[in-house]
Structure 1
Amino acid sequence: MSGDADVARVAALLAEPARAKVLMALADGRALPASLLASEARVSPQTISAHLRKLLDGGLVTVEQSGRYRYYKLSGPEVAAAVEALAGIAKPQPITSLRQSTRAAALREARTCYDHLAGRLGVALLEGLVRRDALVRTDGGHGTERRPGDPLAQQLPDGPYALGPQAVGAFSELGVDLAALPSRRPLLRFCVDWSEQRHHLSGQLGAAIAEALLNRNWLHRRPHQRAVQLSDAGRRGLAQLL
């Protein structure tokens, strides 16, 4: 038998600024080395090692060895969802430099949430899929509007969408073969985007679309950031398809 969830322990891990920056850096689902995480958190290699041990012990990250290097990643999408949820309710830090302002704007424009797209781009992508009848609302709602009872900034237990009559063709044009997607996780999942407060697509299908856009070079990762950027070809392609 087990007791109540130990929320206080997890909250204590998140309450330290350097560890919070590490989790934010890993929230796009990638595995990163300790040296890069130290740079992101602005701490020394020795300090980041201590923080990573605590995150490992707390079950928030995992580590894998590749040659001489160790790479750290979030232990699962539920950790990324928790980080996104906190970002939605946290008071923004003061912007004190042009670099900070540019980075904050880039995150709101387009970012990855674990392995799927979020921000204005993620919401616009879902909106386009609904317009294209690749996905349809099942609750009578419009576009990507959040329902009154939807929890803020987290994954929905029952997203109000289903595959539409144009699903196979539309997703194929985006580079996703629905029939070939593995079934190890739910196909359709949806989140309430913390910056837009509207729905975006997650789950297996959301991850597959993000991967397809990256493989086509329609989408590029920004160095050492969760923010991503559409290429000119990506803007043209998505405008044409959706």
Structure 2
Amino acid sequence: MKEGPDIARIGALMGDPARANILGALLSGKALTATELAAEAGITGPTASSHLKKLMEGGLLTQAKQGRHRYFTLAGPEVGAVLEAVMGLAARRGHLRTRTGPKDPAMRAARVCYDHLAGDMAVRIFDSLQARDFLAISKDKGGFGLTEAGSGFVREIGIDLDALTSGRRPLCRVCLDWSERRNHLAGSLGAAFLTHFVDQGWLRREKTGRIVHISPKGQAELKALFPVV
């Protein structure tokens, strides 16, 4: 490709195993220090600094200084969406790493994908919204939008839809779930769902990592709100 976006550079940045581990760690949506990311990637501090510099220069990461520490995050939700999509592609092609232990089933059940929910429960939510005609294809809204009925449903459960639609970020986006290999909901609504469910006490995020625990009450409430039709 002689002209247009340089996907080769992005692919090279993501293709290094250490950098892939760094990016994967930041899919939790939390800001991490270089020391924490070095531990996640299994590399030394100086090596991590070199990788972080490349990811910063490539526009995949941002950093913020607080005291003597530097905290790194993904450069935005679009980076998280690309990472999750690549994970889905790798899973479909059989490029899977060895399972590391009991946390893997929990990762598949519910996890954070940058700022929204992913995993089995997230796919259930998306399927339920679509089956009840709460989502509609919209060419001018990034692929999907809410129907009138969907808008009413979102307001009824206590989410400020006006605040979401006044922002520049797409309200509804689909994100390919790497473990379920089907779509879950991203965009500002996907992020608002995650925040709302945590605030209600239905979900609890682990302090480190991406795993999300669903309380017994949360299981009952979410299954009632998002029945499989």
Is 2:198 aligned against 1:214? yes
How far apart, CA to CA, are the structure 2 residues paired with 1:202 and 1:71?
24
What is the DSSP-based 3-state SS (H/G/I as helix, E as strand, rest coil) of the residue aligned with 2:70?
Answer: strand
- In structure 2, the CA distance between the partners of 1:45 and 1:138, relative to structure 1 (3 Å rule), is closer
2:149 paired residue number: 165
What is the DSSP-based 3-state SS (H/G/I as helix, E as strand, rest coil) of the residue aligned with 1:36?
Answer: helix
- Gaps (5+ residues) in structure 1? 140-155
1:238 paired residue number: 222
Q: How does 1:1-242 map to 2 (within 5 A)?
A: 3-90=3-90, 91-95=95-99, 100-130=100-130, 135-137=134-136, 157-159=142-144, 162-165=146-149, 167-168=151-152, 170-181=153-164, 182-242=166-226
Query: Structure 2 counterpart of 1:112, which letter?
Result: V
- Gaps (5+ residues) in structure 2? none
- In structure 2, the CA distance between the partners of 1:136 and 1:62, relative to structure 1 (3 Å rule), is closer
How far apart, CA to CA, are the structure 1 residues paired with 2:55 and 2:84?
17
1:166 to partner: Cα distance: 5.5
- In structure 2, the CA distance between the partners of 1:6 and 1:234, relative to structure 1 (3 Å rule), is same
TM-score of the pair, normalised by structure 1 = 0.79
What is the DSSP-based 3-state SS (H/G/I as helix, E as strand, rest coil) of the residue aligned with 2:213?
Answer: strand
1:24 to partner: Cα distance: 0.6
% same residue:
42
Cα deviations across residues 6-61 of structure 1 (Å, max 9, x unaligned)? 22222222222111001011123322222221221122222211211111111110
User: Is 2:63–2:73's contact at 8 Å kept on the other side of the alignment?
Assistant: yes
TM-score of the pair, normalised by structure 2 = 0.83
Query: Structure 1 counterpart of 2:160, which letter?
Result: D
Report the RMSD for the aligned CA atoms in angstroms. Answer: 2.5
How far apart, CA to CA, are the structure 2 residues paired with 1:231 and 1:239?
12
How far apart, CA to CA, are the structure 2 residues paired with 1:180 and 1:85?
28
